[in-house]
Structures are given as C-alpha cells and as structure tokens.
Chains A and B, each alone.
Chain A
Amino acid sequence: MFFLLALHLAIGIGIVAGGRALGRQAFLVAAVAPLATVIWAATQAPSVLDGEPVTESFAWIPQLGIDIDLRLDAFALLMVAVISGIGLLICIYSLGYFSHLKPGLARLAGVLVLFAGSMLGVVLSDQLIALFIFWELTSVTSYLLIGNDDTNPRARAASMQAIFITGAGGLVLLAGLIIVGQAGGSYRISELLADPPSGGAVNVGIILILIGAFTKSAQAPFSSWLPAAMVAPTPVSAYLHSATMVKAGVYLVARLAPMFAMTGNWRLVVMVIGALTMSISGLRALRQHDLKLLLAYGTVSQLAFMMLLLGVGEYHIAEAGIVLILAHALFKAALFMVVGVIDHQTGTRDIRELHGFGSSWRLVQIVAIISAASMAGIPPLLGFIAKEKALDGYVEHGDFAGGTAVLVVIVLSSILTFAYSARFVLGVLGHFGESEHPVVSQAAHAPRAVFIGPAALLTGLTVLFGVAPFLLDDLVEGATRALYPGSEPKPLELFAGFNPALGLSVLIIVCGTLLTVFRGPAAEAQRRASEALRPVPSGEQGYLAVLKAISITATRVTATVQNGSLPIYIAIIMLTVSLIPAASLASEIGSLPQWVEEPVHIVLVAVIVAAAIGASVVHHRIAAALMLGAVGYAMAGLYVARGAPDLALTQFSIETLSTVLFVLVLRFLPRSWRHGAPAIAAPMRIAVAAAVGVAIFVFALSASNSRSSVDEPSMSEVMVEQALPKGKGHNVVNVILVDFRGWDTMGEITVLVVAAVGAVSLARPGRKRADDDEAPVFEEILDAGDEPAMPEALR
C-alpha cells in the first residue's frame, strides 16, 4: 500500500514538474497510478472480502505513538474501487475534455494524481493522525485543482472559499480527533472500534469531528463552497466534488458511527444536519438553470442522504448507505461527464440554451437518462436498490428517537431528487430551450468515443448492478461487517417483495412525476417561498460575513497593537511577556530565598540599582548607554561572586562590545531625547517597567524553587554528572552549549546570522548618499587604496 501511495506521489510530482512536454498525453501517464491501484486491489479482493484485512505499518513518530498504519478492509476496498476506478475513467475522459491545450494542463493532471494518492491515504489509514494528514492533503490538492485556472478571478475566489471552509473544518477535526484519541488511549481506528471511549470530553470531541466531516462533505451550513467549486474543469468536479473527496466526510462518519452513534449528541446532530441539508439542497437543485450547478446541489443533497444512512450507527441502515456510495459514484460521475461533454461541444450548459440535438447525440442522451433515472430511484437500476434498501432500513430498524421523522424527510427529499433528476433529463433533451436565447446546440458535433465512453461504461455498470445486484453482495456485506463486526447484512435484491419500502418507492415516483408535470406552478410557489425566506442568511452570505468580520477584526487589532510607535510596541511586548507567563508562575512561589549571602552582593546590587535608575533619568543617549553598560558589568560581578566564571566572562565581553556598538549607532541619532509629547505618559511607562521587574523577579524565584519541589535529581545535577562521560568536557556550561543543548545554540547562531545580515542591509540604504546610485559592493570596500570608491561604498 505504501508502494501505491509512493507511486501516486512520484507520478504526480513527475507530471507537475515535467509534464508540459507531454501535452494531453499527461493524462495517460496519470492513468498509470489508478490503474496500478485497481489491479492491486483486485488481487487483494478475495482475501479482504473473506474478512482478512491487509495491513502495513511504518513507524513515523514512534516517540508520540504516531505511526502510519494502513489497513485495507472491505469498506476501504470499496472506497479504493471508487477512487481508483473513477480516477482511471476520469483520466481517459480528460483526453477528450481537454482537446485544446491550455497552460496549466500538465499541472492539473499531476495534481489530480496527487489528489488520488491523498484520497487513497484517507481511506487506507487506520490511524487518526495519519488520516488527518491525508485529509488535509485532499483539501490542499482540491484547492489547487479548483484554482488551476489562476487567471480567472472566479476560480481563485472559489478555491479560496473551498480551502477556507475545509481548512477551518480540518482544524476543528484535528482537535476532535486528538480528544477522542487521548480519551481512548489509541489513535488506531480498529482498536478504538473494539473499545470505544466515552465521557464528557469525548462528547465534545465527536461533535468537533462531525463539524470537520460536515465541512468536507459540504453539509449545512458549510455547503456554499461546493457549488462555488463548480468553476473548476468538469473532470475535477466529476472526480473530486461528486465521486470522491466530498465523500471523505461521509467516510469518516461511517467509520466512527459504529463507535459513537450512541455517545452524546452524535446521532441527533447527524440526523438534524443531514435532514436539513438533504431537503434544502434538493429544493435549491430544482431552481438551477446551469446543469452543473443542478448536479452540485444534488450532490450536496445526496451526501446528506449518505450521512443519514451511515451516521446513525445502525448496520441495516448503514448497509444501504454503502450501496448508495457506490450507486452515487456511478451515476453522478456519469452525469457530470455528460455535462462536461455538452459544455465542451456546445459551449453552454444552461438548459435554456440547449435544444435540438441531432440523432448522433443519442448515446449521450441515453447515458444521461439512465444515470438520472438511477439518481431518481427508478428500477431496475442500482440507485433504486440503494434507495429501496434505505427506506427499508428506516422502516424496519428506524425505531430510535427521530427515526420516523428522518424517514419522512428522506421520502420528501427523494421526491425532490426525482423532480430535479427529471429536470436534468428534460434539460439535456432540450425541453427548456427558449427561442429568445441563442440556439447553440443544433450545430454541435457529437462527442468522440473516448469522450463519452467512460460515462457510458459507468452507466452500463449502473444497469448491470441494478439487474444483477448479487454481483455486489460480497463487497457490500464485507464492507458492512468491516464497519460493524458481527453484523448480519441482508443480501441485495432488486425485488424484495411487496413491503412498505416498495410502497414508499412507488409514492416517491408518483409524487415526483406529478411535481415534474406541474413544474410550472411548483416553480412559482417555490419562488414565492424563497422570497419570503430571503431575510434568512444563506451559507454563502454567512461565509462572506465571516470573511468580512475577520478582516475588520484584523485591521482593528493591527491598528491598535502596531500603530507605528516604538514605545508602544515595546510596552505591548513587555506587558505580554510579563503578565501572561508571570501570572501563572506566581502561584508556584513557595518560599522566599535568602536575600543576602555575601556582603559584596549589597555593593553590586547597589551599583545595579543606581545605574539602572540613572539610565532612565539621564537626558543623553550615550550617557544612558554607558549606564546600561554599568548595570551589565555589575551583573557580571554578581556572577563572579557566585562562582560562575563562564557567565561572568561572557557578560563582560558582551557588555564591552555592546557599549561600543551602542556608541557607534547612537552617533546617528539626536544627542538627547525629544521633550515633546511622549507616546506613552510617564506613569504608564513606570507601570510597565515595574510590571516587567516584578515578572522577572517572579520568574527567577519560581525557577529556583521548582527544583526543590520534585524528588527526581534536578536537570542541572544530571548535566554536571554527565558532562565528562557523555560530553567529554570538564566545562559544564560549554558542554551544555555545544552538546546537551547544542540544537538551541544552532538556532541561536542562525538567528544571529540573520540579524547581522538584516541589520546591515537596513543600515546601508539609510547611509547611502543621494548621488550614490549603485549598491555598495564589498570588493569596493576592500579596495581601501581606491580613495573615491571606498568611502562612498560605505555610505
């Protein structure tokens, strides 16, 4: 499995880096990765379906117990089949879709492969943290794919919206996963399933996880990004935003529902959000004129349907959800492909502009009709079997609180699904074409075989699995058992006898047909209702409001804390440093130390205090710098008195040098401070200074006290003991610097280098003369003999 992930990574990066020369053939290279995955999955299928998952593990951060554990069980196998099977077809379809070379095409192909690899990672990970990493990778690749046409501002805005919402959801998800993982004592899904954690923290954690899953699967109120993402090329929409990535949220909910459906408010939240999203999106799909947007809202609705099936933690119902994942992938990918074909050949996907397709378009229309019929739930197609099983599940096993209400919502939403499926078909058949709109479809050529072939193949599978559902029995039953160990799923049947579910199916079809026949009055009623509901903010408006609020808050905060005044900067930094850590440390002070150990301390401290006060009252800058130097020297004296020669040595040298450098720089500044209105009034300055002093005092006290409060040998003793045997040095301070804490030193000297380069490059332009155009060059500086060049170079 690691091999497959690495293969995706290598092919993806390879195409992104060097695929430009390949042109459209980049998609053929890209197809290698999903093809290899499909073949590998087929070889593993028999044993996996027998209930023996394939596992691989890689120690990633063993210190934290974070490993990358991959596990292919039957449910993961089903997802892999969807991801790589559809991925393969999308690659072939792209050959037809991208018949004209555009810049960024190779990048699109490469990122598509990277996405496929990330998505495989999501469904193969048995470890929550690894799953999260792959989850985020799918968000990032989705962002890149939506915004691939980087010259289109709409594409950029849509990609920003997508990553903003899914990224924020990802952070929430991470918090939830960590809460659950810590409470359960394990981050492995298979171990958590055997022993699910519970408790107050877990109740919060699962809600956070649900929020993350809802953002990814575009559930209310986070659904606005998915319709916006339709600006992406159709292969991307078909692959990411209908068949795979948006199912990541459903996948996660399906994985965790067996453990947490009974915990806290999981089931309630899933049912409320799922029911709301399913019905609202169904209504919105009915109002679309853009075929792609119609499908997008339909996808949101169907994802909510899957949430309702897989999220309630009842295996009879979940089994229907598993069939629906498969059925939806088949019909929705095919429908998106059809929209792409129409869009590509005619230049529009607005149903008001489409009519009069010739007979050569028959295959496209058949594909559209059959796939839409599967979406509507008409027998004998796979979509019908999924819907029938879902209704049956809720009728027979939905006896939990709210189950009946959800069943009603599912039936009503399915009527809407039937209606928008019919609207899609009528649109593709050219029924809504109006004479005042330009007629564009009449002259359009029918697509080539490679273009419509993948959609036709998917449609063929929809029919095949509908007529012969027993072909899927092993996979669906295995997947159900993988989610719910010990469950006994029922085999799939096209006709399960005259039962309530069949009656509901007939009701849905009849009502849906009526809604389609009377679509004129229905649309009018819907328009009036939506006008009445206009004051209620939509998800899109909510997103914009959040963006605006963030922007305003950031502006205000920045204007307050970074107003350009150095004294205010320093005051804010100092107050933050002194108040936040010191407040928490103050409680740890046990006893006060002995104040004076040796008489010489009194003298040294007196010098320090006097010099410090002097530095703050003198008017000359250089005098103040010298006073500060005196403080430093007296500190060094304290080190000597305490027997720390290394510290004293460093302090003496540092003070000497910094005093010289102070004088060097202060020459460029006015001799004394301005006595205008200070940025901060004197009492405030004194207060800040006092706070800093108290904070340092508290810090020093608690630092020295913390050693006595633990029984273990203190760190300093360990270091003194280990300096010679481990560090090979007698000077403990030096051994700490270069060995025990050498990594810190490494960081510090890096900062030193950056600071040096930065300070000098800041100082140079400031000293440059007005007539000196060229930047100074060191060769000129070194050429001390060249009288005119040298001083100018320095300025």
Chain B
Amino acid sequence: MSDTPITDGPMRARSRRMVLLDTSMKVLYPSILVLALYFVFAGHNRPGGGFVGGLVVGGALALRYVSGGAAAVRSTFRVPPHLFLGVGLLLSALTAFIPLVLGGSILEHGDVTLHLPIFDKVKVTSALSFDLGVDLIVIGLVLMAFVAFGEDVPDAPDASDDGSDAPRKVRMRR
C-alpha cells in the first residue's frame, strides 16, 4: 500500500529457482518455437501468420524470462534485438517494393510451386517473406522490451557463464 517500488519483492521471491518451470521449459520452449514456425508458414492458408508467429515466440521468451531472467532471454538470441527490427522491416519493405521495380504494383505477390523431397508439392508465395518480416519485427520488439525493462535473476545459471558460484549483488533500481 506504500509508494515503495515493488522491485525487490518479486526479486526475492524469484531468487529461489522454480524447478518445475525450469524442467518443463526444456520441452515447452522448443515446442512453442516449432508452433510459431508453423503459424508463420501455414498462415497464408490456415489460422496464423507472421504477427501471431512473432507473438508466440514472444510468449516463449516471456516464459524464458520468468524462469531465467533477462540474461536467459539475451542468451537465447545472440543477435542484437535491433537487428531483428531492421532486418524485418527491410525484408517486408523489399517484398513490398520489389514488384514496383518489376513493373507491378506495390505488394503484388507472385508464387512458385516447389516439389520438395519430404513435403512433396509446396506452394510458396512472396507474401511469406512479407510475413517473415512482420514476424522478425514482433520478435525484435519483444526482445527489446525484455532487454530494456527486464531484470536478471541473481543466481540463474544462464545469467553467468563464468561458472562462479558467488551470488551476485542485487542492485537496487531507482
């Protein structure tokens, strides 16, 4: 009820590892990523799409954050988050404008039907690359949010790769 920031309350609570969550993450995390990939690639014909795909990855990252703190999120993607934003926007913009150069109109899509070994007949439209760009942007946005606002769990194993067991000081936020 006071005006003190709630920073250290949850921090202390979280300093004990949640074993159940940590263990289930090993299964959950890759499965969610696969689901997200499915959403992106199937989106043109079934429920899904780049935006939803990105959000699902964001959900996975949120889980990762809850279990391992901001460091865990960072170690997941060893690429700076802003690169996701830039590459994503570039990809979408190129998909939008390249048809213009080829004499079409903006965001005019073409498609190719491929015969792949396992998937057999696969129809790929250029809308996919647009969707992938959207996907990357949403992932970048979530990553940036966690990196900017997130908190490190002091004794999380992924937070420090130097192997030292010394507990880190919890720094007080302003």
Most chain B beta carbons < 10 A, residue from A672, A743, A791: A791
A635 to B135, CA, bound (A): 24
Does B5 lie within 8 Å of A667, measured CB to CB? yes
Does B106 lie within 8 Å of A657, measured CB to CB? no
Q: How many residues of A contact B (CB 8 A)?
A: 61
Chain A: CB-nearest residue to B170: A791
Does A668 lie within 8 Å of B85, measured CB to CB? no
Chain B: CB-nearest residue to A738: B127
Does B10 lie within 8 Å of A735, measured CB to CB? no
With beta carbons under 8 angstroms apart, the residue of B52, B107, B111, B159 that contacts A650 is B52
Does B7 lie within 8 Å of A756, measured CB to CB? no
With beta carbons under 8 angstroms apart, the residue of A671, A760, A764 that contacts B2 is A671
Does B146 lie within 8 Å of A782, measured CB to CB? no
A757 to B92, CA, bound (A): 18
B 125-160 binary contact with A (CB < 8 Å = 1; else 0): 101001101100110111011111111100000011
Does A728 lie within 8 Å of B85, measured CB to CB? no
The answer, yes or no, to whether A182 is at the interface (CB within 8 Å) is: no
Q: How many residues of B contact A (CB 8 A)?
A: 75
Instruction: Give chain B interface residues in 157-174, CB to chain A under 8 Å.
Output: 159-162, 164, 168, 171, 173-174
The answer, yes or no, to whether A660 is at the interface (CB within 8 Å) is: yes
A 646-673 binary contact with B (CB < 8 Å = 1; else 0): 1001100110110011001111111110
The answer, yes or no, to whether A753 is at the interface (CB within 8 Å) is: yes
A645 to B96, CA, bound (A): 27
Does A728 lie within 8 Å of B109, measured CB to CB? yes
Task: Indicate whether A757 sits within 8 Å of B160 (C-beta atoms), given known contacts A653-B56, A738-B107.
Answer: no
A656 to B52, CA, bound (A): 12
A756 to B152, CA, bound (A): 21
A656 to B86, CA, bound (A): 25
Instruction: Give chain A interface residues in 731-764, CB to chain B under 8 Å.
Output: 731, 733-735, 737-739, 742-743, 745-746, 749-750, 752-753, 755-757, 759-760, 763-764
A653 to B107, CA, bound (A): 27
CB-CB < 8 A to B164: which residues of A?
A: 787
A763 to B85, CA, bound (A): 18
Does A767 lie within 8 Å of B125, measured CB to CB? no
A707 to B146, CA, bound (A): 43
With beta carbons under 8 angstroms apart, the residue of B82, B107, B146 that contacts A757 is B82
The answer, yes or no, to whether A178 is at the interface (CB within 8 Å) is: no
The answer, yes or no, to whether B4 is at the interface (CB within 8 Å) is: yes
The answer, yes or no, to whether B37 is at the interface (CB within 8 Å) is: no
Task: Indicate whether A671 sits within 8 Å of B48 (C-beta atoms), given known contacts A657-B55, A742-B130, A756-B141.
Answer: no
CB-CB < 8 A to B146: which residues of A?
A: 664
Does B4 lie within 8 Å of A671, measured CB to CB? yes
A649 to B149, CA, bound (A): 26
With beta carbons under 8 angstroms apart, the residue of A731, A746, A794 that contacts B107 is A746
Does B109 lie within 8 Å of A738, measured CB to CB? yes
Does A767 lie within 8 Å of B127, measured CB to CB? no
CB-CB < 8 A to B80: which residues of A?
A: 778, 781-782
Does A660 lie within 8 Å of B62, measured CB to CB? yes
Instruction: Give chain B interface residues in 57-86, CB to chain A under 8 Å.
Output: 58-59, 62, 65-66, 70-71, 74-75, 78, 80-82, 85-86
CB-CB < 8 A to A782: which residues of B?
A: 74, 78, 80
Task: Indicate whether A739 sits within 8 Å of B109 (C-beta atoms), given known contacts A645-B47, A733-B49, A734-B44.
Answer: yes
Does B134 lie within 8 Å of A745, measured CB to CB? yes
Does A778 lie within 8 Å of B82, measured CB to CB? yes
Does B45 lie within 8 Å of A729, measured CB to CB? yes
The answer, yes or no, to whether B89 is at the interface (CB within 8 Å) is: yes
Task: Indicate whether A668 sits within 8 Å of B145 (C-beta atoms), given known contacts A657-B58, A756-B85, A791-B152.
Answer: no
Does B3 lie within 8 Å of A671, measured CB to CB? yes
Does B171 lie within 8 Å of A795, measured CB to CB? yes
The answer, yes or no, to whether B93 is at the interface (CB within 8 Å) is: yes
Chain B: CB-nearest residue to A778: B80
The answer, yes or no, to whether B1 is at the interface (CB within 8 Å) is: yes
Chain A at the B interface: mostly helix, strand, loop or mixed?
A: helix
A778 to B52, CA, bound (A): 27
Does B131 lie within 8 Å of A738, measured CB to CB? yes
A-B contact count (CB 8 A): 200
Chain A: CB-nearest residue to B72: A784
Does A767 lie within 8 Å of B174, measured CB to CB? yes
Most chain A beta carbons < 10 A, residue from B52, B56, B71: B52
CB-CB < 8 A to A664: which residues of B?
A: 145-146, 149-150
The answer, yes or no, to whether A437 is at the interface (CB within 8 Å) is: no
Chain A: CB-nearest residue to B86: A753
Chain B: CB-nearest residue to A793: B147
CB-CB < 8 A to A746: which residues of B?
A: 92-93, 96, 107
The answer, yes or no, to whether A490 is at the interface (CB within 8 Å) is: no
Shortest Cβ gap from B98 to chain A (Å): 13
Chain A: CB-nearest residue to B133: A749
Chain B: CB-nearest residue to A779: B80
CB-CB < 8 A to A650: which residues of B?
A: 51-52, 55
Shortest Cβ gap from A716 to chain B (Å): 17
Shortest Cβ gap from B35 to chain A (Å): 11
CB-CB < 8 A to A743: which residues of B?
A: 96, 106-107
A650 to B123, CA, bound (A): 24
The answer, yes or no, to whether A184 is at the interface (CB within 8 Å) is: no
Task: Indicate whether A764 sits within 8 Å of B148 (C-beta atoms), given known contacts A743-B107, A749-B134.
Answer: yes
Task: Indicate whether A731 sits within 8 Å of B46 (C-beta atoms), given known contacts A665-B149, A746-B92.
Answer: yes
Chain A: CB-nearest residue to B62: A660
Chain B: CB-nearest residue to A665: B149
A769 to B173, CA, bound (A): 8
CB-CB < 8 A to B174: which residues of A?
A: 766-767, 769
Shortest Cβ gap from A663 to chain B (Å): 8
A593 to B73, CA, bound (A): 47
CB-CB < 8 A to B133: which residues of A?
A: 749
CB-CB < 8 A to A764: which residues of B?
A: 148
The residues of B with any CB-CB pair to A shorter than 8 Å are: 1-7, 10, 39, 43-52, 55-56, 58-59, 62, 65-66, 70-71, 74-75, 78, 80-82, 85-86, 88-89, 92-93, 96, 106-107, 109, 111, 123, 125, 127, 130-131, 133-134, 137-138, 140-142, 144-152, 159-162, 164, 168, 171, 173-174
A-B pairs, top 8 by smallest CB distance, nearest first, are: A653-B55, A742-B107, A730-B45, A729-B44, A660-B62, A738-B127, A778-B80, A645-B47
- Please, could you name 18 A-B residue pairs with CB atoms under 8 Å apart, sorted by A? A645-B47, A646-B52, A650-B55, A653-B58, A657-B55, A660-B62, A667-B173, A731-B47, A737-B49, A746-B92, A746-B93, A749-B88, A750-B89, A753-B85, A757-B82, A757-B144, A760-B147, A785-B162
Other contacts beyond A666-B6, A745-B92: 12, CB < 8 A: A646-B49, A650-B51, A653-B52, A667-B5, A727-B109, A731-B47, A738-B109, A739-B109, A742-B127, A749-B137, A752-B138, A756-B141
